[in-house]
Structure 1
Amino acid sequence: METLEMRSTTATFCRARKTGLAGLAALVVGVLRPGLAFANPEEALGTPDAAVMGQFASMIRWSGVLTSIVVILGAWMAIRFVRDLVERLSRQFANRRLLLQKIATIFQFIVYVGTGAAVVLLSFRLDAGVLAIIGGTVAVSVGFAVKDVVASFIAGIMIMVDRPFQVGDRISFGGQYGDVTAIGLRSVRVQTLDDNTVTIPNNKFINDITSNGNYGALDMQVVMDFHIGVDQDVGRARSIVNEAAVTSRYVYLPKPVVVLVSQVIADSYVAVRLRLKSYVLDTKYEKAFETDVNLRVLGAFREHSIMPPAVLHRQLDPLVRKPGSAAPPS
């Protein structure tokens, strides 16, 4: 008996697919509303389009649709209000900027999820049969199409829990370097130092390496290299670089300032590298700090005649003439 019913359902589905959307819609209505099922597939396929659309319309709660629109507008206004409020408070309380941005991100995440659930519950008449059919249809026909979106959604939850970075952190990922401005359900937005907004899907962060410069703190380490010739006064050059860093108005002095000296090969000749490692008091002053220190160091190098790397030509003493050797030409 079950086999015959299954064959009948399969044959009806095939015929409905051949006859177009109206026939398939009639079949689905018959499955969702057993009391409205037709005696045979031919009767279902012959149903006028207006009647089929009416059956689908009966599944929608129209008063709830109007309420859903109000809910969406309210959610949008709430998100805009919180964003503007956080932006104003961040300008007034700079030391609390990262905390305020984290709160705004969590609030936005909760509003998105809550609004989506409310719209579905308000706009549709859901029962066990409808949920089963909708779930099966989404899983089979839409599953492959939205697999990347689902993966990004799950990755977004993992980012919120594992926290490899947070809103306000300065990260480097996939050749992009900038500040994380938003962590959404599908993607992460990064504002680069060139003032470009880069959108990266959340699932990209699962298998790739992310470099985080400050990890929730306002201060961040900045590394700068200076090169001089091997025949220059290295000690004085090191003192100049150290002084330029500690006297900058952007430096964060509670953390150490270090100048490392090493010999390197630059363009096939030997040079001395002075690597400065110091902390800037706020990530937004990174480039201003680099510019300030570079100007100070270059000016002091020029004042003290400390030259950049160059190829050195060594002159050897005249060779002592061996006994019996011919005299060098004059």
Structure 2
Amino acid sequence: MTRLLLSPLLLAMTAAPAIAQEAEIDMAQLGDFIRWSGVVTSLFVLAGAWFLLNVLSGFVNRFSSQFAARRLTMHKLATVAKFFIFIATGMIVIALSFKVDSTLLALIGGTAAVAVGFALKDLVASFVAGIMIIVDRPFQVGDRVSFGGFYGDVTAIGLRSVRLQTLDDNTITIPNNKFLSDITSSGNYGALDMQVVVDILIGAGEDFDLAREVLTEAALSSRYIYLPKPIVVLVSQVPMENFVAVRLRLKAYVLDTKHEKAFETDITLRTLRTFREKGIRPPGLSDGRAA
């Protein structure tokens, strides 16, 4: 019984040096297929691609600041262009740096491929996921999305990762393959305008019809409102700890996603000021007055 259990272990220990030696031989043979003059040329190709990407990013940023209505379109086109630049650069570098023939392909299919495959597994998965994001488009550059507890604007979709700019001005880098299995919510999906929800609470004994009119007027007169879309104010009761409050929920569209928080602040401040003038009180004070 002991011999039966030890046999696989002894076999693995005996085979391990042979596998390591085979990998070493394959890697040594792989060096014979490298064009060292092409490697130098590839460095210039990489430098040119880096320069082209910087020029493209600078142009898109300047164009977007001058023509806000075309901002999302420019970012989408830039994302596709960057993908083509990355893929073309990779193919050119491989063609210049390696002597590709049947012997090299057979070598890559051996032990060296296993070692490289494990090292590049996540990178390849992210690359494939990046292509799927571009084709399937669950979100686009410029969208305001919620993913994995983060909320912000998609600033770039790359070969390996997606960059997200949060409302706290933090840049979050998320590997592309994470988006294949997790749920992503997009607030605007390629459009500039986006629905914003603002909640206002008042006491159960207050004039909620008047409060609803005040909130609607505040939305209609806001500088950030997108009037072609509907404005809705919903009224519902909300149980609190010791009393019941009336919740006014405004659903309206903001002109540009970047004005989301400014719109919320504008609506809240002007509504509360008008409530004070009209004598409409918040839940706690209203219940105290009724008592």
- For Structure 1 versus Structure 2, the TM-score category normalised by the shorter chain is 0.7 to 0.9
- The aligned residue for residue 78 of structure 1 is 52
TM-score, normalised to structure 2, is 0.88
- The aligned residue for residue 223 of structure 1 is 197
* Mapped contact 2:153–2:165 kept (Cα < 8 A): yes
1:258 and 2:229 matched: no
- The aligned residue for residue 116 of structure 1 is 90
* Mapped contact 2:156–2:163 kept (Cα < 8 A): yes
- The aligned residue for residue 68 of structure 1 is 42
TM-score, normalised to structure 1, is 0.78
1:79 Cα deviation (Å)?
0.4
- The aligned residue for residue 304 of structure 1 is 278
Q: 2: distance between equivalents of 1:102 and 1:184?
A: 12
1:203 and 2:177 matched: yes
Q: For 1:149, give the aligned amino acid.
A: L
Decide whether aligned partners of structure 1 residues 68 and 29 sit closer, same or farther in structure 2, where only a CA change above 3 A counts: closer
Q: 2: distance between equivalents of 1:314 and 1:178?
A: 42
**Counterpart pick for 1:286 among 253, 260, 263:** 260
- The aligned residue for residue 11 of structure 2 is none
Aligned residues: 277
Q: 2: distance between equivalents of 1:257 and 1:16?
A: 69
Question: Which SS does the other structure have where 1:190 is aligned?
Answer: strand
Q: For 2:265, give the aligned amino acid.
A: T
Q: 1: distance between equivalents of 2:157 and 2:206?
A: 50
Q: After superposition, what is the alpha-carbon deviation per residue over 1:241-285, rounded to whole angstroms, capped at 9, x for unaligned?
A: 000011000000001111111111123421100000000000011
1:142 Cα deviation (Å)?
3.0
Q: 1: distance between equivalents of 2:268 and 2:287?
A: 26
Q: Report the structure, 1 or 2, having the larger helix content.
A: 2
Q: For 1:130, give the aligned amino acid.
A: L
1:313 Cα deviation (Å)?
7.3
Identity %: 60
* Mapped contact 1:98–1:167 kept (Cα < 8 A): yes
- The aligned residue for residue 40 of structure 1 is none
1:170 and 2:144 matched: yes
Q: 2: distance between equivalents of 1:289 and 1:283?
A: 10
- 1:1-330 matches, within 5 Å, as 14=17, 17=20, 25=24, 27-28=25-26, 32=29, 56=31, 58-310=32-284, 312=287
Question: Which SS does the other structure have where 1:203 is aligned?
Answer: helix
Q: For 1:244, give the aligned amino acid.
A: A
Decide whether aligned partners of structure 1 residues 12 and 262 sit closer, same or farther in structure 2, where only a CA change above 3 A counts: closer
Q: 1: distance between equivalents of 2:226 and 2:101?
A: 61
1:117 Cα deviation (Å)?
1.2
- The aligned residue for residue 320 of structure 1 is none
Q: After superposition, what is the alpha-carbon deviation per residue over 1:32-53, rounded to whole angstroms, capped at 9, x for unaligned?
A: 5xxxxxxxxxxxxxxxxxxxxx
Q: 2: distance between equivalents of 1:315 and 1:250?
A: 37
Q: 2: distance between equivalents of 1:92 and 1:314?
A: 53
Q: What is the RMSD computed on CA atoms of the aligned residues? A: 2.5
Question: Which SS does the other structure have where 2:39 is aligned?
Answer: helix
Q: For 2:97, give the aligned amino acid.
A: S
Contiguous gaps of at least 5 residues in structure 1 = 1-10, 33-54, 317-330
1:306 Cα deviation (Å)?
0.8
Q: 1: distance between equivalents of 2:125 and 2:19?
A: 34
Q: Which has the larger radius of gyration?
A: 1
Decide whether aligned partners of structure 1 residues 138 and 303 sit closer, same or farther in structure 2, where only a CA change above 3 A counts: farther
Q: 2: distance between equivalents of 1:82 and 1:256?
A: 37
Q: 2: distance between equivalents of 1:253 and 1:29?
A: 65
Q: 2: distance between equivalents of 1:315 and 1:299?
A: 21
* Mapped contact 2:155–2:163 kept (Cα < 8 A): yes
Q: 1: distance between equivalents of 2:206 and 2:27?
A: 87
Q: After superposition, what is the alpha-carbon deviation per residue over 1:285-323, rounded to whole angstroms, capped at 9, x for unaligned?
A: 11111111111001011111111112847999xxxxxxx
Q: 1: distance between equivalents of 2:249 and 2:235?
A: 7
Identify the structure with bigger relative contact order (alpha carbons < 8 Å, sequence gap 6+). 2
* Mapped contact 2:224–2:254 kept (Cα < 8 A): yes
Q: 2: distance between equivalents of 1:314 and 1:90?
A: 53
